[in-house]
Copies of this chain bind each other. A is one copy, B any other.
Amino acid sequence: MEYNNFLHNSGLYHLEWTNMVMIMVGVLFIYLAVTKDYEPLLLVPIGFGMVVGNIPPIPGMPLSVYAEGSVFSYIYMGVMKGIYPPLIFLGIGAMTDFSTLLSNPKLTLLGAAAQIGVFLTFLGALFLGFAKTDAAAISIIGGADGPTAIFLSSMLAPDLLGPIAIAAYSYMALVPVIQPPVMYLLTTKAERRIRMKAPRQVSKREKIIFPIVAFLICALLAPGSMTLLGMLFFGNLLKESMVTERLANTARNGLIDTVTILLGFSVGASTQAQTFLTPQSLLIFGLGAAAFVIATMGGILFAKCMNLFLKDKINPLLGAAGVSAVPDSARVVHMVGLKSDPTNFLLMHAMAPNVAGVIGSAIAAGVLWSALGNF
């Protein structure tokens, strides 16, 4: 009798305690987003996705992101095929103002230095026994860019995509918690009070040429970064060219919002306890935390090194913004700076290593992908 199935088919019947744990984590994400304003545009979709993804589906029924033919699987396809991340970069490009970078080019180095977090984590993951491709995908969590992490995982380690994406976004949301202790540990109060001098004015023409040249430099050096950086700089060109304002507007509103909704929700829904709660996931979360800390340290210490040679000293806090996590880590730098000197406004200056960090992580991802990918 098929109405017997009603009970068998109910989700309650199949619900395991691990699912309940994941649902609680999803609710926690939403709670943090709502009350603490931690990356709400990502944590709310991911959190609700986790709730949805941990309802036990009826076996055989096309419901979950992993079930062939289900609606959620079609939405998740944009994650698995790596399509959403470049589209998000398009929107970010159309939002980003590179003039801070253009007016203070030496700060780009801080964005490079922070990538030490990626490569040390790569070594750490290898040490722990992860395969090369998996280690590479995990290490990119240290790049602190969600889309880059998802893109590289989808290409190198699709099986670990769920935990890597969740780790990346969680730690990005927790940047205001993770970074300040490291910053206080590695800097003196005098260093934190260093004032940056007001940078020069950047002309419109420089802003228009920049995305084209910067793209050429990065893509010729590391073609693997072409997909992400092509879209990032394309979006920026749409913004800066002044003649395609309506396209830039759509890219940074309707388009990025739609993709953010679909990406966040389906990444969340991919965290079924049955496949998500594994020892690997735990290790990935550990490595991710380490990666964030190392990246922050790398940026700050490199800034202190640079100060040994520079006449106009750099506030070493800016190094922490090199991990990107745009714009959160720049905001954290600003807040920590204000604590030491309430009239020292670092936000603008911190945007320079911040966007440089995005470029740096994308290059690192391109390098890892092209060297380790299975072509």
Residues of A at under 8 Å CB distance from B? Answer: 2-3, 5-6, 9-12, 15, 23, 27, 30, 33-34, 37, 40-41, 44-45, 48-49, 51-52, 55-61, 63, 69-72, 74-75, 81-83, 86, 90, 208, 212, 215-216, 219-224, 226-227, 230, 233-234, 237-238, 241-244, 246-247, 249-251, 253-255, 257-258, 260-261, 265, 367, 369-373, 375
Contact = CB atoms under 8 A, between A and B. Distances in A.
A219 B52 contact: yes
Contact of A371 (B9, B33, B367): B9
A86 B62 CA distance: 14
A369 B75 CA distance: 21
A208 B52 CA distance: 16
A10 B221 contact: yes
Contact of A234 (B48, B219, B222, B255): B48
A370 B241 contact: no
Contacts of A58: 223-224, 370, 375
B234 A45 contact: yes
23 contacts: A10-B220, A10-B221, A27-B212, A30-B212, A30-B241, A33-B241, A33-B243, A34-B208, A37-B243, A41-B243, A44-B247, A45-B244, A52-B219, A52-B226, A57-B223, A61-B370, A61-B373, A63-B227, A71-B82, A71-B86, A74-B81, A247-B257, A250-B257
Contacts of A244: 33, 40-41, 44-45
Which of A12, A45, A61, A233 has the largest number of chain B CB atoms within 10 A? A61
Given A10-B223, A33-B241, A48-B237, 10 more contacts: A3-B371, A37-B243, A49-B234, A52-B230, A55-B226, A57-B226, A58-B370, A61-B373, A251-B257, A254-B254
Given A220-B10, A223-B57, A241 B40 contact: yes
B223 A63 contact: yes
B215 A45 contact: no
Nearest to A12: B220
A261 B244 CA distance: 10
Contact of A23 (B57, B83, B216, B367): B216
A74 B27 CA distance: 34
B234 A52 contact: yes
Nearest to A366: B9
A320 to B, nearest CB: 25
A250 B241 contact: no
A216 B51 contact: yes
A243 B34 contact: yes
Nearest to A370: B9
Contacts of A49: 234
Nearest to A56: B223
Given A223-B11, A371-B5, A371-B6, A249 B241 contact: no
Contact of A34 (B227, B241, B265): B241
Which of A5, A40, A208, A223 has the largest number of chain B CB atoms within 10 A? A223
Contact of A261 (B44, B48, B247): B247
A316 to B, nearest CB: 31
Contacts of A370: 5, 9, 58, 61
